[in-house]
Amino acid sequence: MSTTASTKPRAPLTARALSKRFGARVALRELSFELAPGERVGIVGPNGAGKTTLLSILAGVLAPDHGDLIGSGRRAGWVPQQPSLYSKLSVAENLRLFARLERLAEPDAAVERMLEQTGLRDRANDEVGRLSGGNRQRVNIAIGLLAEPPVLLLDEPTAALDPSQRERLWEFISSLGDDGTTVVFSTHDVSEVERHAHRVMLLAEGELLFSGTPGELERAVADGSAPGAGRSADLESALLRFLKLHGH
Amino acid sequence: MRWLLIKDLQILRRSPLLVALLIVYPVAISLLIGFALSSPPGKPKVAFYDQVPRGQGIVRLGSQRLNVGGYASDLLSSIQPIRVRSLAAATADVRGGRALAALVIPADLPAQIQGLIQEGVGSPTVQLYLNTSDPIEREFVDQAITARVTQVEQAVSKQVLRVAVDDLQEVLNGGRVQILDQSVSLLGLRNARTIVSGTLRSLPAGSPLRPALRRVIDFADLAIEGLGFASPVLGSIGSPLTVQRFELAGRTTPTATYAAAIAVVVSLMFVAMLLAAGMLAVERSENAYPRLARGLVSTPALLAEKTLLAGGLAAVTALLMAAGVSAFVHLDWGRLELWALALGFGGLAFGALGTALGALAREVSAASLMAFGVSLPIAFMALVPASAVSATLASVLDAVAFAFPFRAALQAASSAFSGGPPALVPALAHLAALSLVFGALATLAMRRFAKR
């Protein structure tokens, strides 16, 4: 897998020392990173690591307590973990509503484009409440893509899907990189990161422990660059050892 | 905001069961309340056993006769009588639930009344058997019959007094009276005095009869003066007090119109509050709010949209209901635009309150329950008459009623329906102020709504 498929020249999103607290609990500790155009980044980490909080801040849903974000907020397309759709409206009506709320110049054209892109044209007039989980998630992603954002943020997009639905969804997400859209997704499934991400960001207790390719993470554990390192059989083992070595 | 409004209408159009429930239920509740307030209680079913033999209900009052049976029929006008032929049948009807009570007129009631009139002793008594299994029904029938008995007593008293006054007049002025079915001529005090006075004048000056006749004339003068004064006094005792009524507030909203206004406003309140609270909570239940809050729709715009949607639909529902009710109760159709204004302002105030509740509750089921739970108390608190509770509690209820839209909406609606007081404009201003207050509270509550 190539590192990036860049067609857009500038970094679409840069984070500098992002911090967030919820009361006494620290959700994020001074996270800094930069995303490249067309890059697919997988965010992994244990429950409570801060994955959803980070994506929410990148999406502009939450405000950071400290730190800067360049190129986020409404410019990013956001796909929350639970489909954010009106179940009594049809697929086309949901898309049209959000296209209008996004104040797109040509909402109907955007709806047509997304129906085409997601392969949901034949289900356009079906109520979303009657769709399968996979198709609902497609509509959810389509809404995130309506404004043709440079960055698409997906919070555990395959969490409620069966294997075949996941496979179709990843085909669709992978195709987005072809036009330079940067995709950032969170997941608990390390194999998805291994197969579909150019870069893995490992979070634990709000701290960014690692940022690099999946191969680099495995090598970091194997070649001893990580404290207490040793050889791992796969990415998941490497990730678990990495976390253990860092006291998590 | 326009697109959100269209979206919500689409959602409602595709939820016919929900919409039907949302409209039918409050309308049914409000109609029941309206009917309960406007309809007097029906006449209680009472078993009636009259032991007085036919034709023997006559009481003699001096030269006149009083038919007790006529007053018994007055007594029956306040009940729905079930005539029975024995005391056992009467009590059996009460025990069996066919009658709420049994009223028994004893055979000697005319004699009891006769004794009271002639000798001033005794207490004529009718018997009332009450079913004590239901205390409310027992109280209802007891009050209905007791009130009527009091009226009958007053009627009998007036009749006795009238007879007494007539007899006094005859003693004074003379005339013809019936004694033992024979017409007898009565001389009268005035005529007797005239005769004695004539006799006195015809006697010689030194007649020994003169002093005695002079004393008879003096007595007659004294009696005429005293009895002449007694007649109007006795007459006045029959109707000692007359109530003259004055209406100080100009036109008054008729009771039936007021009851219709209550029914319509209860409906307006339910629809607006349930819809506003529910439709706001739907944004969270559908997980759409975080997406909207990313700058697609501002919080005030979202709240305004829900308030307009709920208030508008509630006002339309209430208007249709008022139109339907006007087939049975007089509502002034010439003031239709004022109906719309009153119900529109009321709908907005209730809608704003509903959004505040929806923002607090966050979930559809909790929001609906909260809206329903809050609705009934604010309606009842506004309807409790101040005279029915202590002064302190009345002040508390008054303050609560002022802080919520029900009373102001009711004032606006009753004024719009009839043109009676209170004035429409202050009520509309009150509703507008409450809309702003609850809108501000809803904006604060949205902080909780936005939390994950």
Are A80 and B290 in contact (CB < 8 Å)?
A: yes
> CB B10 to CB A78 under 8 A?
no
Average pLDDT value for chain B: 82
Of residues B10, B11, B291, nearest to A84 (C-beta):
B291
> Closest-CA residue in chain A for B296?
A101
**Which pLDDT score is estimated for A91?**
95
In whole angstroms, give the CA distance from residue A13 to residue A36.
Answer: 8
* Dist. CA A246–CA A248, nearest whole Å: 6
Structure-block tokens of residue A240: 């678990």
Give which of B8, B15, B282, B294 to mutate to test A binding, by max A Cβ within 10 Å. B294
The model's pLDDT over B195-254, given as tens digits with 9 standing for 90+, comes to 988 888 888 888 888 888 888 888 888 888 887 777 666 655 555 455 555 544 444 556
The domain over range A9-76+150-245 is classified in CATH as 3.40.50.300: yes
- Say whether B3 and A97 touch across the interface (CB within 8 A): yes
- Sign of the alpha-carbon dihedral angle for A236, A241, A242, A248: positive
Residue pLDDT, tens place only, B92-118: 988 888 888 888 888 888 888 888 777
pLDDT band at B295 (very low <50, low <70, confident <90, very high): confident
Burial of B247 (0-12, 13-18, 19+ CB in 10 A): exposed
Contacts of residue B160, defined as CB under 8 A and 6 or more positions apart, other chains included, come to B61, B66, B117
DSSP string, B63-114: TEEEEHHHHHHHHHTTSEEEE-SSHHHHHHHHHTTS-SEEEEE-TTHHHHHH
Does B14 contact A at CB distance below 8 Å? yes
Gap from B17 CA to chain A (nearest CA, Å): 13
Given CB atoms, is B288 within the 8 Å cutoff of chain A? Answer: yes
CB atoms closer than 10 angstroms to residue A123: 20
In terms of pLDDT, which residue wins out, A233 or B154?
B154
Work out the minimum CA distance from B294 to partner chain A, whole angstroms.
6
Q: How many CB pairs under 8 A join A and B?
A: 54
Question: Are the C-beta atoms of residues B128 and B142 closer than 8 Å to each other?
Answer: yes
The pLDDT value given to residue A241? 82
Cβ of residue B29 closer than 8 Å to a chain A Cβ? no
ipTM over 0.85: no
Give per-residue pLDDT as tens, B350-392.
999 999 999 998 888 888 889 988 988 888 888 887 777 788 8
Percent of chain B, pLDDT > 70?
87
Comparing CA positions, the residue from A13, A16, A26 lying closest to residue A181 is: A13
Report chain A residues whose CB lies below 8 A from the CB of B291: 78, 80, 84, 98, 143
B287 has a chain A CB within 8 A of its CB: yes
Across the interface, which of B10, B287, B296 has its CB nearest the CB of A101? B296
Give the number of C-alpha atoms closer than 13 A to the C-alpha of residue B165, restricted to the C-beta side.
16
With contact defined as beta carbons under 8 Å apart, do A190 and A200 qualify? no
A95-99, long-range: CB < 8 A, 24+ apart = A95/A139, A95/A142, A95/A143, A95/A146, A97/B3, A97/B4, A97/B7, A98/A143, A98/A146, A98/B291, A98/B296, A99/A146
Judge whether B177 and B183 are in contact, CB under 8 Å. yes
Q: Is B10 within 8 Å of A73 when comparing Cβ atoms? A: no
Domain boundaries, chain A: 9-76+150-245, 86-148
Angle at CA of residue B60, ends B57 and B62, nearest 5°: 165
User: Which residues from B are below 8 Å from A78, CB to CB?
Assistant: 291, 294
Nearest to B295 among A60, A80, A93 (CB): A60
In order along its 248 residues, chain A shows pLDDT tens digits of 333 444 444 667 888 999 999 888 888 999 999 888 888 999 998 888 899 999 989 888 888 999 988 875 557 888 888 888 999 999 999 999 999 998 898 999 999 988 988 888 899 999 999 998 888 888 998 898 888 888 899 998 888 777 877 888 888 888 877 778 889 999 988 888 888 889 999 998 888 988 888 888 888 777 655 555 555 557 778 888 888 877 77
Q: What is the pLDDT of residue A6?
A: 40
Interface test mutation site (partner B, options A25, A52, A56, A61, max chain B beta carbons within 10 A): A61
Candidates B291, B296, B363: best to mutate against A (most CBs of A within 10 A) is B291
Please give the distance of CA A208 from its chain centroid, rounded to a whole number.
16
